[in-house]
Amino acid sequence: MGRTLVTGGAGYIGMELCDELLQSGHDVTVLDRLLHGQADHAQALRERGVTVVEGDIRDPVARGHALQGADAVVHLAAIVGDPACARDPELANEVNVEASLALASEAAGQVERFVMASTCSNYGRMADPTTPIDETGELAPVSLYAEQKVAIEQHLLGLDPAPFTLTCLRFATVYGVAPRMRFDLTVNEFTRDLWDDRKLEVFGEQFWRPYVHVRDAARGIRTILEAPVEAVAGEVFNVGDTRENYRKLDLVEEIRRQTDRGEVSYVRREEDPRDYKVNFDKIAARLDYKITKTVPEGIAELIGELEAGRFADSDEARYRN
């Protein structure tokens, strides 16, 4: 299977991806700054035979060490999400744009495959959010994070000749229990807050978003890495399932079916105008990719782990980006 470099490999998706790759027989290198207190996760990876390079994706020395012997790159490392990028736009540009371009340039001619993690947020606010949009649809980013992902996609897809087999993956909003847990993602946060008998304030409850379980996101990446080159070279794939588009209102109602705790109020705000339903038929038809968990199943999984006391203090900083 060769050696795969996973940047951000000790992160939310990264830990699940490393497990997927190890189970499939890949050698794995991880480059991660361990910004969110993942030293224990890094050690767990080392114990499974993963080469862990602790370093910043912006550091050319760290990138050089991590790329040694790599046949493929999965680039997950980023300042992820709209709030984090808005908090420090300069840092977001350094990490999400400049470091990504540098990594791709250094990987050119060395690796055979390069998988770029992107986002369905690239679709922004659709004129008609009731009709799911596919990979050929208009990109209309409304946040700095999505603008940066669109810029990187366009740059890499425009390289001619292509220096490696490039595939860009636009992930649905990720949720679910994972080794490096996050409670700042919509499904996880809503479930935690209501289960914990808190007051949940929801805005934009009628807006549509697609969702994908973190393990299925990792499986999507492995599917791309193991697919024939001709099926994925120069392609963009939405990663998720068309049936897994929900409004925030739908999420709350599903959580309510599984717990009677907490209070919910709906408020009007204008700062997040994203509203989009996404079509995922391409990855299903071309690569026979299927999800293994739905949002209701993910909510049940999360409630079960909360009930079991797995997350003693879910408000700790390490549980959010």
- Known catalytic residues are 145
Q: Which residue in this structure is represented by tokens 């114990």?
A: 47
Comparing CA positions, the residue from 234, 227, 231, 210 lying closest to residue 291 is: 210
Backbone phi and psi for residue 163, each to the nearest 5 degrees, phi listed first:
-80, -5
Whole-angstrom distance, CA of residue 297 vs CA of residue 191: 12
Whole-angstrom distance, CA of residue 172 vs CA of residue 185: 12
Q: Which residues contact 114 (CB under 8 A, 6 or more apart)?
A: 72, 73, 75, 104, 107, 156, 164, 165, 166, 167
Whole-angstrom distance, CA of residue 6 vs CA of residue 74: 5
Q: Label residue 206 exposed, middle or buried (CB < 10 Å: 0-12, 13-18, 19+).
A: exposed
Q: Which residues contact 228 (CB under 8 A, 6 or more apart)?
A: none
Comparing CA positions, the residue from 66, 158, 53, 165 lying closest to residue 109 is: 165
Q: Which residues contact 137 (CB under 8 A, 6 or more apart)?
A: 123, 126
